[in-house]
Amino acid sequence: MPQPTAIRPRFLISAALLLAVSAITIGLSANAIAAQKMPMQVVKQAENETLGKTILTTKAGHTLYSLSVETNGKFTCVGSCLSVWHPLVVAPSVKPTGPVKLGTVKRPDGRTQVTFKGLPLYSFGADKKAGEINGEGIKDVGTWHAAGSPKPAAPAPPTEYPGSY
C-alpha cells in the first residue's frame, strides 16, 4: 500500500496566509461598500405664488417646513410635537438628494432626519393636499416656515440716460 504524502509545512503556512489575506480584503471591501451612502431623491421643488418663493416638498408634493429655533443640532420638536409635525427621515444608509443641497442630522430618538441649510425638515399634519401651506408662520417655541428660497428678482429694466449726448 502506498504511503500518504506528507504535506509540507511551508505549503500549509502559505495557504493559511493566502486565506487570511483574502478574508481581510473581502471584509475591507464590504466595509467600504457599507460606508458609502445610497443616494435617494426625497424632495422636490414647487413654485408657491402665495409665499412668493420656491418651496421644498415631499415627493408627493406636500410642503416641507423648518422651525426657526432648531439650529446646530438642537431639537425642539420632540414628544407631542411629532404628532402634528412629521420629520422627513431616511434610513442611515441613504444620502438624501433633490434639486437643492440636503444634509442629515441624527434626531434624539436615533432616526436620521433630512435637513436644508442645516435646519431639519418636517411636513405638517394639517396639510392634507399637495401644495397646501397651512403650517406657514405658526408660532409656538419658534416660528414654522415653508423651506425654500425666495424667487429670484426679475431683472430691472434698463434705464435710459436722462440727458442727451
From the list 112, 41, 107, 120, the residue with the least C-alpha distance to 78 is 107
Distance CA 72, CA 35 (A): 24
Per-residue pLDDT of the chain (165 residues; tens, 9 = 90+): 555 555 566 655 665 555 555 555 555 445 555 567 899 999 999 999 999 999 999 999 999 999 999 998 899 999 999 999 999 999 999 999 999 999 999 999 999 999 999 999 999 999 999 999 999 999 988 999 999 987 665 566 666 655 555
- In contact, 55 and 62? CB cutoff 8 Å: no
- In contact, 133 and 127? CB cutoff 8 Å: yes
Q: Is the pTM of this model over 0.85?
A: no
